[in-house]
C-alpha cells in the first residue's frame, strides 16, 4: 500500500529537524510540492533542506500547481473549503500517478503539521477507494515553540490555559474569554493594535529560527509601534514576513 509521510520540518534549518524527520526524509521516493510560483521562498528552503538532510539522492520532487484561494470571497470558511477540495484533487491525482503500489510520498509541513497547516485536511479529502494510502505524521518544531525558546519563556503559567488563535479572530472578536495567555498566528495586520494594552505584555518574533530572526518584547502599549515598524521593514526587505506573538495579561482588565 502507498504511504504518505507528512514531515514537520521546523523553520527550514537542518538543525530544526528531529532524528525521526531525517529518517523519514530518507525514506521518501517522491516529494510532492505545492508551488505558489517561481519566487516561493519557502518551497526553495524545503528543497535545500532535502538536499542537505538526505544521504542518497534517489528521491524525486514533483511540483504541483497550487490552486489559488479566492481571497475576495465574502464567505471565508466556504472559500477555504473550496480551496482544500481543489488542492485535494491535485494531491490525490499525484499520489495515484506518481507513486508505485508500495511507494512512499513525502509532504513537508512548515513547523509542525498540527498548527494551522492544511496538509492533513487536504490528505483526508484526497483518498479514494481505488487508491487508498496510509498517512504517517512526523512532528516538527513549531514557530510557537521557537517563539518561547527565543524569548526564554514558558507559554503556560502554573495551572493556567493557553489559547492559540489567529490575527483575524483577535481583530474581529477581541481578547478571547477565559484565558490570560494568547498566542497569535497568521496575522498580516498587527491585530494586537485592536486590543486594550493595559496590563498586557507582548512577546513578538518574526522569521523565528532563521539567521535574520527579529524579537521584541515588553509592555504592549510601549512597544506596539516599534513592532509595527520592524514588521514593515522586514516585509519590505524580503517581500514577505511571518510573525507570531504571545499576549500575556498580567493585570486584570479594568471593569467599567
Ligand X SMILES: C[S@@+](CC[C@H](N)C(=O)[O-])C[C@H]1O[C@@H](n2cnc3c(N)ncnc32)[C@H](O)[C@@H]1O
Contact residues: ligand X, CB under 6 A: 11, 110-112, 115-117, 142-143, 185-186, 205-210, 242-244
- Is the Cβ of residue 34 or residue 99 nearer to ligand X in the bound state? 34
**CB-closest chain residue to ligand X:** 111
CB of 207 or CB of 230, closer to ligand X: 207
Q: Which residue in this structure is represented by grid cell 497550487?
A: 66
- Whole-angstrom distance, CA of residue 186 vs CA of residue 163: 14
Q: How far is the CB of 241 from ligand X (least distance, A)?
A: 8
For residues 207 and 234, is the Cβ–Cβ distance under 8 A? yes
CB of 142 to ligand X, least distance (A): 3
Alpha helices in the chain, H assignment, sequence order: 19-26, 41-53, 76-98, 119-126, 143-151, 167-173, 220-238
How far does the chain reach from its first CA to its final CA, in angstroms? 62
| 138 vs 242 by CB, closer to ligand X | 242
Which among 208, 25, 176, 166 has a CA at the least distance from the CA of 109? 25
Provide, rounded to whole angstroms, the least separation between the CB of residue 116 and ligand X.
4
Q: How far is the CB of 213 from ligand X (least distance, A)?
A: 7
Residue 3 or residue 142: which is nearer to ligand X going by CB?
142
CA atoms of 146 and 12, how far apart (whole Å): 12
Amino acid at each position: 500500500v502507498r504511504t504518505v509521510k507528512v514531515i514537520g520540518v521546523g523553520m527550514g534549518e537542518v538543525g530544526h529537524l528531529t532524528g525521526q524527520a531525517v529518517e523519514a526524509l530518507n525514506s521518501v521516493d517522491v516529494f510532492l510540492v505545492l508551488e505558489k510560483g517561481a519566487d516561493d521562498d519557502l518551497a526553495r528552503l524545503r528543497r535545500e533542506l532535502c538536499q542537505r538532510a538526505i544521504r542518497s539522492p534517489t528521491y524525486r520532487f514533483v511540483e504541483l500547481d497550487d490552486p489559488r484561494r479566492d481571497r475576495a470571497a465574502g464567505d471565508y470558511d466556504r472559500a477555504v473549503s473550496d480551496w482544500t477540495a481543489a488542492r485535494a484533487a491535485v494531491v490525490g491525482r499525484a499520489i495515484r500517478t506518481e507513486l508505485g503500489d508500495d511507494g512512499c510520498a513525502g509532504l513537508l509541513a512548515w513547523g509542525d503539521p498540527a498548527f494551522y497547516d492544511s496538509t492533513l485536511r487536504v490528505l483526508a479529502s484526497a483518498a479514494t477507494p481505488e487508491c487508498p494510502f496510509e498517512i504517517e505524521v512526523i512532528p516538527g518544531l513549531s514557530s510557537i515553540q521557537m517563539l518561547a525558546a527565543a524569548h526564554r519563556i514558558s507559554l503556560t503559567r502554573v495551572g493556567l490555559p493557553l489559547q492559540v488563535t489567529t490575527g483575524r479572530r483577535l481583530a474581529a472578536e477581541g481578547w478571547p474569554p477565559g484565558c490570560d495567555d494568547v498566542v497569535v498566528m497568521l496575522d498580516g495586520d498587527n491585530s494586537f493594535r485592536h486590543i486594550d494594552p493595559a496590563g498586557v505584555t507582548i512577546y513578538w518574533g518574526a522569521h523565528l529560527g532563521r539567521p535574520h530572526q527579529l524579537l521584541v518584547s515588553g509592555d504592549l502599549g510601549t512597544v506596539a509601534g516599534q513592532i509595527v515598524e520592524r514588521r514593515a521593514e522586514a516585509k519590505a526587505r524580503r517581500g514577505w514576513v511571518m510573525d507570531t506573538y504571545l499576549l500575556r495579561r498580567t493585570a486584570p482588565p479594568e471593569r467599567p
